[in-house]
Amino acid sequence: MAKPQNAFVCQSCGAVSRRWQGRCDACGAWNSIVEEAASGGVGAQPAQGARKGRVFDLAKLGETDRPAPARVLTGIAELDRVTGGGFVAGSAVLIGGEPGIGKSTLLIQACAALARRGERVVYISGEEAIDQVRLRAQRLGLSDAAVELAAETSVEDIVATLSRGARPALVVIDSIQTMWTSLIESTPGTVSQVRGAAQALIRFAKSSGAAAILVGHVTKDGQIAGPRVVEHMVDAVLSFEGENGRGLRLLRGVKNRFGPTDEIGVFEMTGRGLQEVANPSSLFLSARDQAAPGAAVFAGMEGSRPLLVEVQALVAPSPLGTPRRAVVGWDASRLAMIVAVLETHAGIKLSQYDIYLTVAGGLRISEPAADLAAAAALVSSLSTIPLPADAVYFGEISLSGAIRPVGHAGARLKEAAKLGFRSAALPGAGEREDAPRELELRRLKHISALAADIGAKRAPRSASASASRAPQSAREA
Ligand code: TYD
Ligand code: MG
């Protein structure tokens, strides 16, 4: 019989090779290959002789007598929105985020909210001592919640403990990288350990009906560290993002077997933990310098919710042969396309200029509907004409220069009107959306009309003062 051989496993992608190498062939990562003891993994069947197959029953796809899976609602609306209406009983959710972003804070708050609703909730910390967790709960004013705590890292011990007593509604494992199982010989934190521990915990969730939340660290480039396979094993992957220096935090669905993935939850980190932000548009627009050229308000959509956000551009003469193009929060190739379309179809020459484009508030926009706002910000910065403070922009720009209609125009316009905006530049064609009456609509069919629109809409400073107060009052309301 062949002697079991150790495997060399890439810690970044999980690829297995027969010998050590400096660079992983599968994902290209350097210095990521670690020798691990060969093992069948948790739950692997011992090698047996040929086994006769067991006959099982096949179910009907359309079987309707089964109720929808039970949901565990936390009552934190921003969290419940992202999960698609609460954590599903018996499912596993992976929450990723950079260190210090607030994962532990969010989850202890969710645990406390559930415990106050009378559910059994268990929070297992593999990183912090019980006293540290207690101290944080005290700071958050959650000491009275009946959350059960443990500082443990052995998966077998955790599963054995959880299997005793009433079935918990929610189990939080903070974090999956610190967990280890004795069935696998490699050190905690390696791919096989993370995978094995996740497998055991997911199996426990499925068999017991508890919802398991696994916290995962992310690497510098934003990937959840450890094997990507954990992302495939769980039912939902949420990503907790935000700028570390600022209070704003976004919870985003990356994968969800039981709900949408385009929803975001918005939180603000305060001295008393994470507070929900029910009206994120006002927060994203709060620090706006309305008289500055190069800033356009984009009426965007995040999932089912409209979200207004500022797109800022700086166009500056370039001393370099190849001008700089830097983008934060948007797609760099999309910017290159907009620049080319402006040059070709609107006669706006940008090739001698450095261009910087930023989406304010740390938001990442992937909607093509932001094209028009980005173009408006660019033209405004180049011409040093500030855009009207009370105007929003949305529309997709095609390579021909045509401004194409986008979805949810009605919802975007309604949100703009709600926040006190008075005009909107939008695609010329498309659905006749029932726009709020107080909004002046400027329909642009082609990118060549944009420069004229910006020049024509220049508001004198005195007139813009009253307009700029309007969004502010909506925020206070
Ligand atoms: P934490 O939840 O420990 O982050 P993670 O688990 O993702 O590593 O959050 C740590 C940060 O949050 C820390 O830098 C301090 C900040 N914080 C507040 O600003 N207010 C609070 O009430 C709490 C509990 C933390
Ligand atoms: Mg933590």
The model's pLDDT over 262-312, given as tens digits with 9 standing for 90+, comes to 788 889 999 889 999 888 887 778 777 777 899 999 999 987 788 999 999
Q: Is 80 exposed, middle or buried (0-12, 13-18, 19+ CB in 10 A)?
A: buried
Amino acid sitting at position 389? A
Which residue has a Cα nearest atom 12 of ligand 1?
A: 102
Tokens of 382: 């180049």
Distance 98 CA to ligand 2 centre (A): 9
The pLDDT score that the predictor gives to residue 227 is 57
Distance 254 CA to ligand 1 centre (A): 22
Residues in a beta bridge with 123: 149, 172
Q: In Å, how far are 5, 7, 42, 171 from 39, measured between CA atoms?
A: 9, 9, 9, 28
User: Does 100 sit in the ligand 1 pocket, CB within 6 Å?
Assistant: yes
Helix 332-346 and helix 371-383: axis angle, to 10°? Answer: 60
Q: How many CA atoms lie within 13 A of 222 on its CB side?
A: 7
The helix or strand, by DSSP H or E, that contains position 208, with its residue range, turns out to be helix 191-208
> Left if phi > 0, otherwise alpha if psi is -120 to 50, otherwise beta: which for 337?
alpha
User: Does 108 sit in the ligand 1 pocket, CB within 6 Å?
Assistant: no
Distance 7 CA to ligand 2 centre (A): 31
Asked if residue 441 lies in contact with residue 424, where contact means CB atoms within 8 angstroms, the answer is yes
User: Does 227 sit in the ligand 1 pocket, CB within 6 Å?
Assistant: no
Predicted model pTM: 0.75
Distance 127 CA to ligand 2 centre (A): 7
337-354 per-residue burial string, b: 16 or more CB within 10 A, e: under 16: bbbebbeebbebebeebb
Q: In Å, how far are 58, 299, 302 from 411, measured between CA atoms?
A: 44, 9, 11
Q: Which ligand is nearest to the CA of 218?
A: 1
Q: How many CB atoms lie within 10 A of CB 46?
A: 5
Asked if residue 42 lies in contact with residue 181, where contact means CB atoms within 8 angstroms, the answer is yes
Which residue has a Cα nearest atom 22 of ligand 1?
A: 273
Cα–Cα dist 92/90, whole Å = 7
The pLDDT score that the predictor gives to residue 336 is 95
Strand spans (E) along 412-462: 423-427, 440-444
Distance 371 CA to ligand 2 centre (A): 37
The pLDDT score that the predictor gives to residue 218 is 79
Cα–Cα dist 351/368, whole Å = 23
User: Does 273 sit in the ligand 1 pocket, CB within 6 Å?
Assistant: yes
Distance 97 CA to ligand 2 centre (A): 9
Residues in a beta bridge with 307: 300
User: Does 407 sit in the ligand 1 pocket, CB within 6 Å?
Assistant: no
Tokens of 208: 């017991």
Instruction: Collect all residues with Cβ–Cβ distance below 8 Å to 204 and sequence separation of at least 6.
Output: 159, 162, 163, 171, 210, 212
Amino acid sitting at position 80? D
Cα–Cα dist 78/276, whole Å = 6
Q: Which of 109, 217, 218, 269 to mutate to test the pocket of ligand 1 (most atoms within 8 A of CB)?
A: 269
Q: Which atom of ligand 1 is nearest to the CA of 174?
A: 6
The pLDDT score that the predictor gives to residue 244 is 57
User: Does 103 sit in the ligand 1 pocket, CB within 6 Å?
Assistant: yes
Asked if residue 188 lies in contact with residue 121, where contact means CB atoms within 8 angstroms, the answer is no
User: Does 217 sit in the ligand 1 pocket, CB within 6 Å?
Assistant: no
User: Does 259 sit in the ligand 1 pocket, CB within 6 Å?
Assistant: no
User: Does 102 sit in the ligand 1 pocket, CB within 6 Å?
Assistant: yes
Please give the average pLDDT of every successive group of 10 residues along the chain, which has 477 residues.
73 84 86 75 54 85 74 91 92 91 94 93 94 94 93 95 92 92 84 90 94 86 64 92 76 88 87 87 77 91 87 93 92 95 93 93 88 96 92 96 92 89 87 77 92 64 38 40
Asked if residue 392 lies in contact with residue 421, where contact means CB atoms within 8 angstroms, the answer is yes
Cα–Cα dist 105/93, whole Å = 17
Question: Hunting for tokens 């940008």 — which residue is that?
Answer: 350
The pLDDT score that the predictor gives to residue 70 is 86
The pLDDT score that the predictor gives to residue 243 is 67
Distance 385 CA to ligand 2 centre (A): 46
Instruction: Collect all residues with Cβ–Cβ distance below 8 Å to 34 and sequence separation of at least 6.
Output: 8, 9, 11, 186, 190, 191
Q: What are phi and psi of 345, to 5 degrees?
A: -105, -10
User: Does 246 sit in the ligand 1 pocket, CB within 6 Å?
Assistant: no
Cα–Cα dist 471/22, whole Å = 56
- Listed residue (300, 296, 298) closest to 314, CA to CA: 296
User: Does 139 sit in the ligand 1 pocket, CB within 6 Å?
Assistant: yes
Q: How many CB atoms lie within 10 A of CB 29?
A: 15
